[in-house]
């Protein structure tokens, strides 16, 4: 496979860190956006410096400085954005519209992967409030990308194991429950804060409605295991051993 110059935006985040690592491991020339806004966040800085040590290039740029984003994307062929879409941390999916503007102006980017990595928002037009914001905002970003004629790949990752396996898909925790598990119903549960309501709506679609499996993948898309047959998968019972 050909090597590319890849810029990761959001590189110190949960999935961003793993994408930087994977890009370096695949031998791509890897760039990571270093935002001045991280300020005194020593953990983020240390992560960025460790990327640099592993051969990545750090590029300074800010979502508050359009020119800096244009200059950053001008240096690469591929832009991968892993902007936060997680409601209990920070949720900034629409900020990507600024990145889309920068990519459009720069005009050189051969492929943009926006921050998707979840359920396919195009299949979630019927989603429940308030969780539908996740899908609606990702669709706004898709529309902007497509209107700007930017070549794109949307990665539909469904459920990350780190969030859904260890906890046996229980809301509000990441480790295995020891005494009881809840079986989910119709999502009409009271008493959650906003992040909880978003989460329980998604759980309704995943576990009650079966939105991850009740369709054919269809034209213009590929099943990832066919694209990357060399990837070795971890069985659930092996994965669970990290929690013992």
Contacts with ligand NAP, residue ranges (CB under 6 A) = 10-16, 33, 35, 38, 44, 63, 82-86, 89-90, 92, 95, 115-118, 157-160, 163
Distance spanning both ends of the chain, measured CA to CA? 39
| Residue 212: count of CB within 10 angstroms of its CB | 15
Phi first, then psi, for residue 78 (nearest 5°) are: -125, 135
> What's the CA gap between 242 and 244, in Å, rounded?
6
Confirm whether 180 is a catalytic residue.
no
Looking at the Cβ atoms of 95 and 179, the one nearer to ligand NAP is 95
Between CA 57 and CA 101 the distance in angstroms is: 23
**Residue 52 neighbours by CB distance under 10 Å:** 13
Taking the CB of residue 204, how many other CB atoms lie within 10 A of it?
A: 20
- Contact present, 84 and 90 (Cβ < 8 Å): yes
- Write down the least CB distance from residue 49 to ligand NAP, Å: 13
Q: Work out how close the CB of 243 gets to ligand NAP at its nearest, in angstroms, rounded to a whole number.
A: 17
167: its two tokens: 């906890």
Q: Which is nearer to ligand NAP, 163 or 243 (CB)?
A: 163
Name the token pair of 130.
């308030």
Query: Which residue is catalytic, options 5, 44, 104, 138?
Result: 138
Q: Least distance to ligand NAP from the beta carbon of 113, Å?
A: 11
Contact 47, 118 (CB under 8 A): no
Catalytic residues: 138
């Amino acid at each position: 496979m050909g090597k590319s110059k890849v810029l990761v935006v959001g590189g110190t985040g949960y999935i961003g860190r793993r994408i930087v690592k994977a890009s370096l491991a695949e031998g791509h020339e890897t760039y990571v956006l270093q935002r001045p806004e991280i300020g005194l966040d020593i953990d983020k800085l240390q992560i960025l410096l460790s990327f640099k040590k592993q051969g990545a290039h750090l590029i300074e740029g800010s979502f508050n400085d359009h020119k800096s984003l244009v200059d950053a994307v001008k240096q690469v062929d591929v832009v991968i954005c892993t902007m936060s879409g997680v409601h209990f941390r920070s949720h900034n999916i629409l900020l990507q519209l600024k990145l889309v503007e920068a990519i459009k102006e720069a005009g050189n980017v051969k492929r943009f992967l926006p921050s998707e990595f979840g359920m396919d928002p195009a299949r979630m037009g019927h989603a429940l409030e308030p969780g539908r914001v996740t899908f609606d905002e990702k669709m706004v970003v898709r529309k902007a990308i497509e209107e700007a004629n930017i070549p794109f790949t949307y990665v539909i990752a469904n459920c990350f194991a780190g969030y859904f396996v260890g906890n046996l898909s229980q809301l509000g925790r990441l480790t295995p429950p020891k005494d009881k598990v809840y079986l989910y119903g119709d999502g009409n549960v009271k008493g959650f804060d906003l992040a909880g309501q978003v989460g329980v709506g998604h759980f309704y679609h995943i576990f009650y409605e079966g939105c991850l499996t009740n369709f054919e993948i269809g034209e213009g898309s590929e099943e990832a295991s066919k694209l990357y047959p060399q990837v070795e998968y971890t069985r659930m019972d092996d994965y669970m051993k990290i929690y013992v």
